[in-house]
Chains A and B, each alone.
Chain A
């Protein structure tokens, strides 16, 4: 018997959603300050208005729904999915006000794309966008990649058990540290340390490459945020091609890989257990699968003959593959070139790379390496069962931070979410084809959205059909939250309508 949501449910959900909105409002003050520093008055006003609206709504919610009770699972999950939607709406306000997006929907697409670290963009005239607005485009991934809820957990939430439920609802089912609030803080520590280092390095490289100092460091910070959070936004319309720099490409590749690593792995390595990187099933799977997929893609590209030199193959072929596999979405080619220069086999390889994604508990999207690892090991186990004598007991071990025995319930969980992702990729592809786009293009773009990649073969443009924009928004949202919170939200509404 489905029970209708009670007032306490609404209160809990409202209260925590309100707190998250207050957090988002406060973060909007950062681009506002940057706008003032660069003497961009109107953009600064845009962000002040956005912050005010977020704070007003957030404060009213926390006041009306004030509660000291802790969250249960359903409430925690609903808070996550709902606050991601609210964030998308509120964060879009300053962007829309800049005039660089064709509609409020386009601005919402951009913020959902940013916060989910996808990177598909509908911005117009990016080369004339203010520093303030551009920074906000890049801050979205920086906040969303680590987790909007994760930020809130660092500062706002006191009840630990409710905190854990929200943490899990945001697509992380492993704690980095026993206390989920400490986990959140560690995730931020890694991000900030790499931010400072990378901004420095990229800034210096930028200056050496001929950029003005302020731009070099601004771009450095933005590029780091979008690379480490495997988002894919860049401050200029040509994406990474703007820089025409091998060094830049190499550095961004390193950052992308770092961002696609499990934060638990970062923790282990940073606390002395350096061997873990090569025992861990995810880091091994990532290495092997990237190279295998690259081989397939390379064969495809060689057949078409697009990249006739080794260095060119590396900078154009491999760059896009690693961008896809880490679900970043940085491009050193134009979108149309995927269709013209890549051929079906290479594109298929790329789609697989996007579909598989990076590590779990990282900023990357896709099905994720842990699930793939679990499924492959389960297959191995079943094969062994067939080959070995019937009375033999077949135990399969898997090393993920520690030695574990593979259990059926893990395999079941992995398979279910994998199927959910595959279904999402397929549904998006069907919608694309419904609007008249070819099969491979539709599948490419749909996978890019649902796995939060951001590579585009040309479908994502401001003139895209509204229905497709909405489809991709839902895909990006569901993919980032790994379905459970989204299902919880749907379940919540079903219960509200049909419950007793």
Chain B
């Protein structure tokens, strides 16, 4: 009897758990933009990497978040924004965030921009600096070409001095 109750409770818990996670499936930026009217004004979940600058505007902040297809502007208050450590660029991988917030097709507050007003964010993976390694193939190719260029320049100088030599001679 106790076992049965335990099993029942675990199953119920599992169903509930699935329920909350499944109903909060993250939407891609393409889906959000393509079905903007459908999602306008609704609470959505969006996952992506913070890119560019995090731009402070008074008590709030703009963070543009790119999910690999497009980037969408996220409007967050300062406390939420404080949790963001890295923003993506050439030399950094930005924090990967899961954002829950209200999506707008044409946000009146922000001049009609497509944006998400974040209610909560959760960091999925932290960002980091990306140190680039010298591509030795490119470096070698550079030197080879430098050699060719020098040869061409020498060749041109020689022809020129020969020609002027002929003229004066």
Binary contact readout A115-130 vs B (1 if CB under 8 angstroms, 0 otherwise): 0000000000001111
Q: How many residues of B contact A (CB 8 A)?
A: 48
Which one of A194-202, A236-244, A347-355, A360-368 is at the interface?
A236-244
Q: A42-B135, A128-B88 are in contact. Are A59 and B153 (CB under 8 A)?
A: yes
Q: Are B156 and A316 in contact (CB under 8 A)?
A: no
Q: A210-B54, A236-B71, A242-B52 are in contact. Are A315 and B135 (CB under 8 A)?
A: no
B17 interface residue per 8 A CB criterion: no
Q: A42-B134, A42-B138, A336-B33 are in contact. Are A244 and B156 (CB under 8 A)?
A: no
Which one of B20-28, B95-103, B108-116 is at the interface?
B108-116
Q: Are B153 and A212 in contact (CB under 8 A)?
A: no
Kindly identify, within residues 52 to 73 of chain B, every residue whose CB is under 8 Å from any CB belonging to chain A: 52-57, 61-62, 64, 66, 70-73
- Report the minimum CB–CB distance from B96 to chain A (whole Å): 13
Q: Are A307 and B71 in contact (CB under 8 A)?
A: no
Contacts of A59 in B (CB 8 A): 149, 152-153, 156
Kindly identify, within residues 48 to 69 of chain A, every residue whose CB is under 8 Å from any CB belonging to chain B: 48-49, 52-53, 55-56, 59-60, 63
A40 to B52, CA, bound (A): 17
Contact for A340 among B37, B64, B73, B145, CB less than 8 A: B37
Q: Are B89 and A128 in contact (CB under 8 A)?
A: yes
- Report the minimum CB–CB distance from B30 to chain A (whole Å): 8
Contacts of B138 in A (CB 8 A): 42, 45-46, 49, 97
B80 interface residue per 8 A CB criterion: no
A43 to B138, CA, bound (A): 10
A309 to B155, CA, bound (A): 68
A347 to B155, CA, bound (A): 58
A43 to B134, CA, bound (A): 10
A312 interface residue per 8 A CB criterion: yes
Q: A210-B55, A241-B113 are in contact. Are A127 and B36 (CB under 8 A)?
A: no
A209 interface residue per 8 A CB criterion: yes
Q: How many A-B residue pairs have CB under 8 A?
A: 134
A340 to B36, CA, bound (A): 9
A272 to B54, CA, bound (A): 45
- Across the two chains, which residue of chain B brings its CB closest to A315? B111
Contacts of A334 in B (CB 8 A): 33, 70, 114
Q: Are A131 and B61 in contact (CB under 8 A)?
A: no
Contact for A209 among B55, B71, B134, B135, CB less than 8 A: B55
B128 interface residue per 8 A CB criterion: no
A264 interface residue per 8 A CB criterion: no
Q: Main secondary structure on chain A at its contact with chain B?
A: helix
Contact for A129 among B73, B90, B105, B135, CB less than 8 A: B90
B132 interface residue per 8 A CB criterion: yes
- Report the minimum CB–CB distance from B141 to chain A (whole Å): 6
Kindly identify, within residues 149 to 168 of chain B, every residue whose CB is under 8 Å from any CB belonging to chain A: 149, 152-153, 155-156, 159
Contact for A40 among B51, B132, B155, CB less than 8 A: B132
- Across the two chains, which residue of chain A brings its CB closest to B131? A39
Q: Are B52 and A127 in contact (CB under 8 A)?
A: yes
Q: Are B142 and A307 in contact (CB under 8 A)?
A: no
Contact for A238 among B64, B132, B145, CB less than 8 A: B64
Q: Are A60 and B152 in contact (CB under 8 A)?
A: yes
- Report the minimum CB–CB distance from B52 to chain A (whole Å): 5
Contacts of A131 in B (CB 8 A): 90
A375 interface residue per 8 A CB criterion: no
Q: Are A315 and B112 in contact (CB under 8 A)?
A: yes
A468 interface residue per 8 A CB criterion: no
Q: A40-B132, A309-B108, A336-B34 are in contact. Are A127 and B55 (CB under 8 A)?
A: no
Contact for B132 among A42, A48, A52, A311, CB less than 8 A: A42
Contacts of A130 in B (CB 8 A): 90
B146 interface residue per 8 A CB criterion: yes
Q: A63-B159, A209-B57 are in contact. Are A312 and B36 (CB under 8 A)?
A: no
Contacts of A312 in B (CB 8 A): 106, 108, 111-112
A59 to B66, CA, bound (A): 44
Q: Are A45 and B66 in contact (CB under 8 A)?
A: no
Q: Are B108 and A242 in contact (CB under 8 A)?
A: no
Q: Are A236 and B111 in contact (CB under 8 A)?
A: no
Contact for B145 among A49, A210, A211, A306, CB less than 8 A: A49
A307 to B139, CA, bound (A): 53
Contacts of B61 in A (CB 8 A): 210
B16 interface residue per 8 A CB criterion: no
Contact for A45 among B56, B70, B135, B149, CB less than 8 A: B135
B148 interface residue per 8 A CB criterion: yes
- Report the minimum CB–CB distance from A22 to chain B (whole Å): 11
Q: A53-B145, A246-B111 are in contact. Are A127 and B156 (CB under 8 A)?
A: no
The 5 closest A-B pairs by CB, nearest first: A210-B55, A312-B112, A52-B145, A127-B51, A210-B56
* B-to-A contact residues, CB < 8 Å: 33-34, 36-37, 51-57, 61-62, 64, 66, 70-73, 88-91, 105-106, 108, 110-115, 132, 134-135, 138-139, 141-142, 145-146, 148-149, 152-153, 155-156, 159
The contact sample of 22 A-B pairs, CB cut-off 8 A, is: A38-B90, A41-B134, A49-B138, A59-B156, A63-B156, A127-B71, A130-B90, A236-B51, A236-B64, A237-B71, A242-B64, A242-B71, A243-B55, A244-B55, A244-B73, A244-B110, A307-B106, A307-B112, A311-B112, A312-B106, A315-B111, A333-B112
Q: A39-B91, A56-B149, A241-B114 are in contact. List 12 more A-B contacts (CB 8 A).
A: A40-B90, A42-B134, A49-B138, A52-B146, A212-B53, A237-B71, A238-B71, A238-B73, A307-B106, A316-B106, A334-B114, A336-B34
* A-to-B contact residues, CB < 8 Å: 38-43, 45-46, 48-49, 52-53, 55-56, 59-60, 63, 97, 127-131, 209-212, 215, 236-238, 241-244, 246, 306-309, 311-312, 315-316, 332-334, 336-337, 340-341
